[in-house]
Amino acid sequence: PGTPRWYIKRHNDVDKARDALRRVRDTEEEVEEELTHIRGALEYEKEAISSTYSALWKDKSIRKRLLLALVINAGQQLTGQGSLNSYSTIIYQKVFTSSSQIALINALNATFGILFTLNAIWMIDRFGRKFLLIVGGIGMGIVMVIVATVETQTPNTPSGAKTESVGIALVFLLFFFILFYKPSWGATVWIWTSEIFSMNVRAQAVGMASQTQNVANTIFQQFFPTFLKNDGFYAFYFFAGINILLAIFVFFFIPETKNVPLEEIDVLFGGANHTIQGENMLAESKLQGATHIEHTTASKGAHVEDSEV
């Protein structure tokens, strides 16, 4: 609500849409040009794209976007963050013996997670979605390799825990993992997913993609406790591999959506240009209207002449 698109789509209120654009555009020319693009795109979407779930599979461009969104949303749950959240106490018990220390670490983990997520506010538009996903994936992969190596290649104390220095190092490394995860695969996946779909199918597509996270997380968490019990921190090498693969996937298949207007998103994925198609439809509608008026006027004129005769 409050966006130019919303004013036109919901209420056909061009004046309020124009006022909203004036707040973010420098000149009247830019305002009118974007207003024309928005009206054209909405006209095309209204006529050519349905709002049903079937529309997600009928259009090749939308189908491609949905599949990409499903992959990165499922991938988000395989980065290791979900497992760290769900089984952090069990993981830290392999390093520390004090329950109070583990509780403090979990509290700090949650606090830093919130702070690191706030980085996404300025990083996403400055560096771009694709860049953050790639750097985040590589960063998380490297951290997971180091965590697994440090834990598995250092001796335990007689109590079965690690030395204090090793424990502190592992905690800081896992905090670094959160630092990479939160603004990238934590926040950017949601933003990218919501940006790539037309308004007509956005609710359905984003809903399906977000549920993929739940499904992937539920399935994987059935196996992770056994994985961790049998292999210990060697399980973190698995997460390292997944994160590197996700970064590679993004590099080759995920396009950058930074500064791409919603009206041009479809073109980015090989679909129709909603702006051009919509403007053509509006022009054709005006032409048909003008032709109809001319035809009506001519018919009335002929009728008057016949009456006079």
Tens digits of pLDDT across the chain (309 residues): 678 888 888 778 888 888 888 888 888 988 888 888 888 777 777 766 666 777 788 888 889 999 999 999 999 999 998 888 888 888 888 788 788 888 888 888 888 888 999 988 899 999 999 999 999 999 999 999 999 999 889 888 887 777 888 888 888 898 999 999 999 999 999 999 999 988 778 888 999 999 999 999 999 888 888 988 898 889 999 999 999 999 999 999 999 999 888 778 888 888 766 666 656 665 666 666 555 556 566 555 555 555 555
DSSP 269: T
CA distance between the termini of the chain: 60
Q: Token pair for residue 193?
A: 């997913």
Measured CA to CA, the distance from residue 149 to residue 151 in angstroms comes to 6
Q: Which residues fall within 8 angstroms of residue 152, CB to CB, at 6 or more apart?
A: 232, 233, 234
Which pLDDT score, from 0 to 100, does residue 12 have?
80
Q: Token pair for residue 268?
A: 């980015």
Other Cβ atoms less than 10 A from the Cβ of 175: the count is: 16
SS (H, E, C) 73-133: HHHHCCCCHHHHHHCHHHHHHCCCCCHHHHHHHHHHHHHHHHHHHHCHHHHHHHHCHHHHH
- The CA-atom distances, in angstroms, between 217 and each of 82, 91, 136 are 7, 17, 19
Cα-Cα-Cα-Cα torsion 88, 94, 96, 97, nearest 10 degrees, comes to 110
Other Cβ atoms less than 10 A from the Cβ of 106: the count is: 14
Q: Give me the CATH topology for the region 55-268.
A: Growth Hormone; Chain: A; (1.20.1250)
Which pLDDT score, from 0 to 100, does residue 267 have?
84
Which pLDDT score, from 0 to 100, does residue 275 have?
64
Q: Name the residue with tokens 């308004």.
A: 199
Q: Token pair for residue 92?
A: 């830290």
Q: Which residues fall within 8 angstroms of residue 85, CB to CB, at 6 or more apart?
A: none
Give, for 297, the enclosing helix (H) or strand (E).
helix 274-308
Which pLDDT score, from 0 to 100, does residue 225 have?
87
Measured CA to CA, the distance from residue 193 to residue 215 in angstroms comes to 17
Q: Which residues fall within 8 angstroms of residue 41, CB to CB, at 6 or more apart?
A: 262, 263, 274, 275, 278
Give the residue extent of every domain in the chain: 1-48, 55-268
Q: Which residues fall within 8 angstroms of residue 102, CB to CB, at 6 or more apart?
A: 88, 89, 92, 93, 96
Of 307, 198, 306, 211, which is closest to residue 261 (Cα–Cα)? Answer: 198
Q: Token pair for residue 125?
A: 């538009």
Other Cβ atoms less than 10 A from the Cβ of 217: the count is: 20
Which pLDDT score, from 0 to 100, does residue 285 have?
61
Which pLDDT score, from 0 to 100, does residue 139 have?
97
DSSP 234: G
